[in-house]
Structures are given as structure tokens and as C-alpha cells.
Amino acid sequence: MAYSQIILVGLSGTGKSTIGNELARILSWSCIDTDDEIEKVIGDNPSNIIDKQGEEAFRKIEEDLILSLAPVNNQVISIGGGAFQSEKSRIHLSNLGLVFFLDAPIEILVDRLSSKFNEQRRPLLGNDLSKWNDLLNKMDTIRRPNFIRSDFHISTFSLTPAEIAHTILQYLNHSSSIDLKNDKRLIRFISSDNKLLPSVRIGVDAKQFPIWVGSNFLNSIPNIMDQLSIVGKIFIITDTNLNTLYGKKIKDVLTSKKYSVYIHAINPGESEKNLDSVNQLYSWLFENKIERQDTILCLGGGVICDLGGFVASTALRGVKLISLPTSLLAMTDAAIGGKTGVNLPIGKNLIGSFKQPDGIIIDTDFLITLPRRELIEGFAEVIKHAIIFDSNLFVLLKDNKIIAQTITKGDERLINIITRSVLLKSLVVSADPLEKDLRKLLNFGHTIGHALETASSYTKLYHGEAVSIGMIAAARISHNLGFLTSDALNEIEELLVTYGLPISTDKMDVDLVMQLMLFDKKIINNKINFILISAIGNAFIEQNVPAPQIQLAIEGVMRG
């Protein structure tokens, strides 16, 4: 093997010690924990050292110990949560082996840590459990930019230690021939170099797919392409509106770096997401002699990301794919996770595939020119992520509702909210890429929402608007079945309305909506997998929702 050690980093509660021991057991390797090693050397545990000497003194002790670690064959090293802040430590550890960042939502970490409250003292968190959520959020904000410099970003969300260890072993097997210092297959961000650091990475099939979130990325696109080792021709799929606004700019930026660029623009709108458009794109690609080494770049919203992704996954049995989402909906949903698809007359996204983009570039500057209705609909997916996974994000949305009114260039509040939303979905996708269990929760609001879209022939409701209405219907079902409190239901309704999202629609044929739900992809054994919620931040799957309750909820979102 080209590496000799495995290094595990992450916040407290991500399972570094447990997973380190599990890896060591499976591989028959040795395992050390830097906190334990410090106690051996100093004669006191980290908690007491921090109490007596302060955190700064402890970090110096920790750094000295890490720098003293020698190359040892077949060893797993678990690193303290704050140790990776030291650039010296990061560089030294990267020279020893592969670095894995273990990650999970903050609420999950709080649950894990609080369950062991009496077993281990944590001086940086204190003794007041009610403050741990905020404190861990602050730690995460400070430490994440360096954690993301790890070689691999690993989701521990809803996975057992054995499953996480198995995921890491897949990466090890895939990386067995990698030269840590010289191999371009391993994109390393360990030191504070000039590479554009991604905000998040999705990990699927022992591969890492980076996501950049920020502003003013347009001129940096060739640099990102270079980091991703993109060569050959670039085929841009977009719509006519975006081609007018950005097509020439992006083509000029890429051609200035010697890329051959081709652009195909379709008419905007959900009605274009069909097999006729797919055939037109195939003809265009093959007329221009696309090859396996070439790349499709999707410049657009959800329709372009879904449609272009499907074409990229099937042309020549798959070519490289870069997503440059231009709508909030695409930035937080359609471009993230690898789902592609086209519509049929009887239902939405019934033909599709899984194709992870090789890179996703989220530039919030695109939102400045986005029509207001399209901007607002995008917040539905962000709010959905908060409702099902993250009450902290829900509070953040409540506290920053002004961002829905005016989009300004480089707004850090908006970038932070988008990054958190993208991170949540990325952690879910990494843990469950093929939607076997956990990822199904992302369908909250979509079962009824998709049926409403289809019933309106994709002309009256935008996707985010239909999802907003679907979320209210699902929340009301949750309340009527005794799972959700009235206060939580009211909070959800209030937040959706505050962001300008609809919670009702013009009257439709309820029987038709019920019938269309039966074509939903989440049907198993003729039963709908309904996503319900028991609290803000806690969703679950329920197969036994009585039909009268579903009908009542649909009728409840109809006006007139």
C-alpha cells in the first residue's frame, strides 16, 4: 500500500474512537487515540489539562504530540476534535496517511454526547446540556473549513460503526495504489494553499464529489476544472434565458483556457423536461462528436440539472458532469445528490438514473438575476431540510427572513444558509446514495406535491410551490395522527408564509390528485411511503396513513 496509516478527524460525537477501534479490529492494525497518548505522556487527561492550564496550552501539547508521531505501518489514529486546526499538524498527518473527516448533523452529535454525559467530562462544552447545541454549532463553524481539508469526507449519519468502517475500507481499497504526495487522483487541500477549497463533499462508491458554495466564482471555473482534471470538449446544456445572460461569458472564460466549448439552449420550463428534449440533446452531442473523456456542464435550474444529468449518465454510458446551478431550488436540491430524470405525461421524474456530478459550483451571484417567484420557490427545499433534519437551520431561517426580500452580491447570511442546507442533503446522500432508507426522508412534501404538479400539467405551480403545499398537507396529517403538536404545525405554516411560499392552491380534482399519487416512485407493495414529522428536525416514514386522512389533507389545501 502507498499509505501506512489512517487518520480520523471530526467533532466530538462523530465516533472517531469507536470507528478507529472497529477499523483496527477488522484490519488487525494497531489503534491510538491522541487524547489517550497525551494522558500517557503528561500523566493527566485532556479535560484536567484544559481546566488547569487552559485550551491554548493544551493545543500546544496536542500539536507537539502529533508532530512526534512517526510513520508506522498499519495504524489507525484518532485525533482530538480541535487538533486539525493546526496547519503543522494537518501537514504532518497528511504525510503519514489518508485523512478521513467523520461528519454528522449537530443535533445527532448532541444526542450521542448527551447519552454519555456521565461517562466523559467535556470542559469545552460545560455541564449545561441546554447550551451544547449552540456551542457545537460554534465549534463547527470554526473548525469545518479545516476539517474539509481532509482527503475524504465521510457521513456517519444514521450508520452503525461497522457500516462506517466498511465505507472507509472501500476508500482504502480504491486508494491502495495512490501515491500520497504525487498522485493527481487524490485532490489534497491539507495546507493553506491556493486551491479553491470546497464547502462540502459527497462520498459515493469510494469517490468524492466536491461542492463549492460562495460568490464571484465565474472567473474561477477553469481553475476548478483544472483541479478536477477536466480535459476534452465541454458541452454546455442551458436554457434560452440563461444563455442570453451567461452563455457567452462562461464560454469565453473556458475558451480562454483552451477548452473547446459547445452550447445547446432549450426553452425554459418544466414542460421541456421530456424524452423529446433528451433525443434532441443526444443528436446535438453526437453531431459534435462527443467522446468519453468530454464533459457536460449543466448551467441552469432544476429542469436543466435533471435533464442534463440524465443525458450525461446515458450518453456513451456516462460522461463527466459538472453542475452550475443558477436557481436556489437547483442549488439546494436538484443539483445535489445525483438524481436525474425526465417526466412522462402520467407523472414526474418517472424515467431517470443516478449520476453524481464530478463537481458542483454554487455561485449565489446567479440569484441576483433570478425572477422573484423562482427565488422564493427555492426556499421550500431549504425549509424542508430544516423541518426534517435541523431545528437549528429552522431558527436560522426565522432569524434571517430578510434575505428572501433582497438578494445582494456575496451575502454571507445567504451563503451560510445554502451551505448548511447543502451539507444536510450531502450527508444524507453519502449515507444512502440509492434511497434505500434515510434518503427517503428527503421526500417530505413531495408525495402530494408531485401529484399537484402533475394535476396542474406543470403550468400552475412551480416545483417549490407544490412542495410547500405538500409539506403543509404532510404536517397536518402528522398533527391529525397525533405525532406533531399544534405549536410546531403553526411554526411551520408561519415560516412558509413568511418566505412568501403558498400553503394552498386553486381547487383541483381531489380524486385525480389521489390517483396520481399511486404513480409515485415511493410506492412499495401498493403502499405509499409517507414522510411525516414528530417535531421540527425529526422526520420518519409511515406506511399506514389512512386514505381518509390523505384526502382530508388534500382538501384542506384547496381554495374555493
463 included as an active-site residue: yes
> What is the rounded CA–CA span in Å between residue 198 and residue 214?
10
- Number of H-type helices and E-type strands within the chain: 22, 20
Helix (H, G, I), strand (E, B) or coil at 360: strand
Q: What's the gap between Cα 51 and its chain centre?
A: 37
Catalytic residue among 381, 392, 476, 479: 381
Dump strand ranges (E) for 141-242: 152-155, 200-204, 207-214, 234-239
> What is the rounded CA–CA span in Å between residue 224 and residue 295?
13
Helix (H) or strand (E) holding 366: none
The 8-class DSSP code of residue 111 comes to: H
149 included as an active-site residue: no
Catalytic residue among 143, 425, 476, 479: 425
> What is the rounded CA–CA span in Å between residue 452 and residue 527?
19
**Residue holding cell 445567504?**
414
The 8-class DSSP code of residue 232 comes to: S
Sort 85 into a burial class: Cβ within 10 Å, 0-12 / 13-18 / 19+: middle
Catalytic residue among 90, 339, 385, 521: 339
> What is the rounded CA–CA span in Å between residue 104 and residue 417?
17
339 included as an active-site residue: yes
Helix (H) or strand (E) holding 52: helix 46-53
Catalytic residue among 149, 463, 521, 522: 463
166 included as an active-site residue: no
The 8-class DSSP code of residue 187 comes to: -
| Amino acid identity, position 296 | I
Catalytic residue among 385, 450, 521, 522: 450
Q: Is residue 264 a contact partner of residue 290, using CB atoms and an 8 Å limit?
A: no
| Amino acid identity, position 534 | S
| Amino acid identity, position 553 | A
Closest CA to 5 of 90, 71, 87, 92: 71
| Amino acid identity, position 433 | P
Catalytic residue among 435, 465, 479, 521: 435
Set of cell numbers at residue 190 = 491539507
Helix (H, G, I), strand (E, B) or coil at 269: coil
264 included as an active-site residue: no
Please report how the helices 302-314 and 275-287 are oriented relative to each other, as an axis angle in degrees rounded to 10.
60
> What is the rounded CA–CA span in Å between residue 416 and residue 396?
10
> What is the rounded CA–CA span in Å between residue 13 and residue 119?
13
Q: What angle do CA 495, 419, 192 make, to 5 degrees?
A: 155
Return the C-alpha torsion angle 232, 237, 238, 240, nearest 10: 100
Catalytic residue among 90, 355, 420, 439: 439
Sign of the alpha-carbon dihedral angle for 207, 309, 105, 396: positive
Which residues are CB-contacts of 550 (< 8 A; sequence separation ≥ 6)? 448, 477, 514, 517, 528, 530
Sort 552 into a burial class: Cβ within 10 Å, 0-12 / 13-18 / 19+: middle
> What is the rounded CA–CA span in Å between residue 40 and residue 45?
8
Catalytic residue among 122, 201, 443, 479: 443
Catalytic residue among 122, 420, 440, 446: 446
Catalytic residue among 317, 525, 544, 559: 317
401 included as an active-site residue: no
**Residue numbers annotated as active site:** 317, 339, 381, 425, 435, 439, 443, 446, 450, 463
